[in-house]
Amino acid sequence: GKKMSKSLGNFFTVRDLLDQGVAGEVIRFVMLSTHYSKPMDWTQAKAAEAEKTLRRWAKAAAKANQVVGETENSDQSEAVLTALGNDLNTHSALRGVAIQADYVLNPPQMKNVSQTVFEQETAHKLLNGLRLLGLEGIISRQSEDDPRLGLLATRLDDLRQIAMQSKDFTAVDALKSALVDAGIEVRMTKEGVELVATAGFDPSKLEGLL
């Protein structure tokens, strides 16, 4: 994996961050915020900021999905495409997505264009922009809320509490890899466990886990 430098000059990998429970999309977002030719400085502040932005974009993506409905997805995001065409300027591409997310959440009132057409085009552009940047996992996040995820999160948290006492994490690791295999993103923090369905979520793989 791509190594990331910390201010102290020591290196750690994407794998280390994932093992610490940092969401894959957050890592990807922070990487995209830095041009590929520049050194990358991973900080908690950047991760928290990325997390906040992605939550907002997930909300916008859910709304965009409703606006788009069944219409053909043809409106490519020029802002994102142009930025990526310019020596992979991913930082600028993220800005393009941010503007579209804002438009979807708070549509400006259009004078000369049909409001519906404008909102549909913006929704398409946002969804396409997220896909281009490999952030499509957040598109289905809010529509794929399987009621079993809450129960499984509690279960995993309980197993983790027990494991911290016994120092035996076998059961935790087994459940965690079964969830990951089902397309669930497992986020573990001091506050607890959060399970998020990604674009590859397969509900049938949750059978027998509870």
- pLDDT > 70? residue 129: yes
Between vectors from CA 71 to CA 76 and to CA 137, what angle results, nearest 5°?
A: 60
Query: What per-residue confidence (pLDDT) applies to 106?
Result: 92
Q: Coil, strand or helix: which one is 114? A: coil
> Taken in order 158, 163, 196, 32, is the CA torsion positive or negative?
positive
Residue entry with tokens 């959060």: 194
- How far is it, in rounded angstroms, from Cα 77 to Cα 142? 22
Percent of the chain predicted with pLDDT > 70: 89
Higher pLDDT, 34 or 96: 96
Mean pLDDT of the chain: 83
Local confidence band at 73 (pLDDT 50, 70, 90 cut-offs): low
Among 21-30, 79-88, 144-153, the least confident range: 144-153
**195 near 152, Cβ under 8 Å?**
yes
- The model's pTM is 0.61
- pLDDT > 90? residue 157: no
- How far is it, in rounded angstroms, from Cα 4 to Cα 37? 12
Say which amino acid occupies 91. Answer: H
Measured in residues, the chain has a length of 210
- Mean pLDDT across 85-97: 92
State the CB neighbour count (10 A cutoff) for residue 159.
19
Q: Coil, strand or helix: which one is 29? A: helix
- pLDDT > 60? residue 203: yes
- pLDDT > 90? residue 93: yes
- Mean pLDDT across 111-140: 86
Local confidence band at 200 (pLDDT 50, 70, 90 cut-offs): confident
> Taken in order 78, 52, 46, 164, is the CA torsion positive or negative?
negative
Integer CA distances (angstroms), 83 to 32, 38, 59, 86, 116, in order: 12, 16, 24, 5, 27
Local confidence band at 142 (pLDDT 50, 70, 90 cut-offs): very low
How is residue 196 written in tokens? 């998020």
Say which amino acid occupies 97. Answer: V
